[in-house]
């Protein structure tokens, strides 16, 4: 399962290199940005669509394998690829919706100079993330397109955990050691120990890459487990049931 986030990251980097770098070195990107023309937003939207599609495609393959594993099967890498490829049209419809919303939130946020606007954008983004939490497993299991998947995802979330979310222990905590080590390396460089600092920064970047891969895999598995619980009430024996039930505030537990 680690192959999916690795490939997602590699292909995304290739897209950045082939999509943005020619525009940057030709000066077209700077010219478009300074002019504030509609071409900038068209290019940004196209980049969102391509990059979102790559991430969503490989996430779909990962979640597919995780669901197979929860069913007691032993999926291979190609099983996940075949499952994602079989729903390529649904993935594309969800990609277009996600890219549009992502661009709108980016435009609302602007340059981040206005705190209230940035806060509103962050809150809208958080609400959107919750509403679409189960979109990928819904696409896989129900074989529906973007809007139907969003509706089903939000319905499952409300039914199981209610509309108020306090949050849970974030899987993102796995990234903290790498960031702490990176900060330490930068401090070491600043105080004058350049060679040692460079080594620490290099190790921290390697750790960050490994952590990001693990995070991507764990996130897909987490979504699969939560979806299975939301639809069947079942939790794998190796998972503490209370952790799943308490991942979000249960419905009716408003404080």
| pLDDT at 164 > cutoff 50 | no
Residues 144, 125, 223, 99: is their CA dihedral positive or negative?
positive
Q: How many residues does the chain have?
A: 255
Taking only the tens place, the pLDDT of each residue in 18-39 is: 776 666 666 555 555 555 567 7
| pLDDT at 129 > cutoff 80 | yes
Q: Are 239 and 225 in contact (CB under 8 A)?
A: yes
Cα–Cα distances in angstroms (integers) from residue 27 to residues 23, 24, 33, 145, in the given order: 6, 5, 10, 38
Return the SS3 of 52.
Answer: helix
| pLDDT at 170 > cutoff 70 | no
- Percentage of the chain surpassing pLDDT 90? 23
Distance of CA 233 to the CA centre of its chain: 25
| pLDDT at 167 > cutoff 70 | no
The encoded tokens of residue 212 equal 């990001």
Taking only the tens place, the pLDDT of each residue in 44-100 is: 788 889 889 999 999 999 999 999 988 888 999 999 999 999 999 999 999 999 999
CB-based burial label for 60 (10 Å; 0-12, 13-18, 19+): buried
Alpha helices by DSSP H, 110-250? 115-131, 135-142, 146-161, 176-190, 194-232, 241-245
What is the DSSP-derived secondary structure letter of residue 156?
H
| pLDDT at 232 > cutoff 70 | yes
Residue 245: other Cβ atoms inside 10 A: 14
Q: Is the pTM of this model over 0.85?
A: no
Cα–Cα distances in angstroms (integers) from residue 136 to residues 15, 176, 208, 219, in the given order: 22, 27, 26, 12
Taking only the tens place, the pLDDT of each residue in 180-195 is: 988 998 998 898 888 8
Confidence (pLDDT) at 253: 47
Residues 184, 187, 191, 196: is their CA dihedral positive or negative?
positive
What is the DSSP-derived secondary structure letter of residue 97?
H
Q: Which of 215, 131, 130, 136 is nearest to 166 (CA)?
A: 130
Q: How far apart are the first and last CA of the chain?
A: 39
Q: Where are the domains of the chain?
A: 3-166+241-245
Confidence of residue 152 (pLDDT cuts 50, 70, 90): very high
């Amino acid at each position: 399962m680690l192959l999916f986030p690795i490939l997602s990251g590699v292909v995304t980097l290739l897209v950045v290199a082939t999509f943005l770098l020619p525009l940057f070195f030709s000066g077209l990107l700077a010219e478009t940005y300074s002019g504030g023309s509609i071409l900038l937003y068209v290019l940004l939207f196209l980049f969102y669509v391509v990059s979102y599609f790559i991430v969503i495609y490989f996430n779909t393959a990962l979640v597919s394998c995780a669901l197979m594993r929860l069913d007691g099967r032993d999926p291979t890498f190609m099983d996940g690829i075949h499952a994602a490829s079989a729903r390529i049209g649904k993935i594309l419809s969800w990609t277009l919706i996600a890219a549009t919303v992502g661009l709108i939130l980016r435009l609302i946020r602007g340059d981040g100079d206005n705190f209230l606007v940035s806060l509103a954008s962050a809150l809208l983004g958080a609400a959107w993330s919750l509403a679409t939490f189960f979109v990928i497993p819904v696409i896989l299991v129900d074989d529906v397109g973007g809007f139907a998947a969003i509706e089903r995802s939000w319905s499952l979330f409300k039914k199981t955990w209610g509309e108020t979310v306090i949050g849970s222990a974030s899987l993102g905590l796995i990234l903290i050691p790498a960031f702490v080590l990176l900060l330490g390396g930068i401090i070491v460089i600043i105080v004058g120990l350049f060679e040692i600092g460079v080594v620490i920064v290099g190790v921290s970047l390697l750790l960050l890459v490994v952590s990001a891969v693990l995070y991507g895999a764990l996130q897909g598995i987490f979504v699969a487990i939560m979806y299975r619980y939301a639809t069947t009430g079942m939790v794998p024996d190796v998972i503490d049931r209370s952790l799943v039930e308490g991942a979000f505030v249960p419905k009716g537990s408003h404080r």
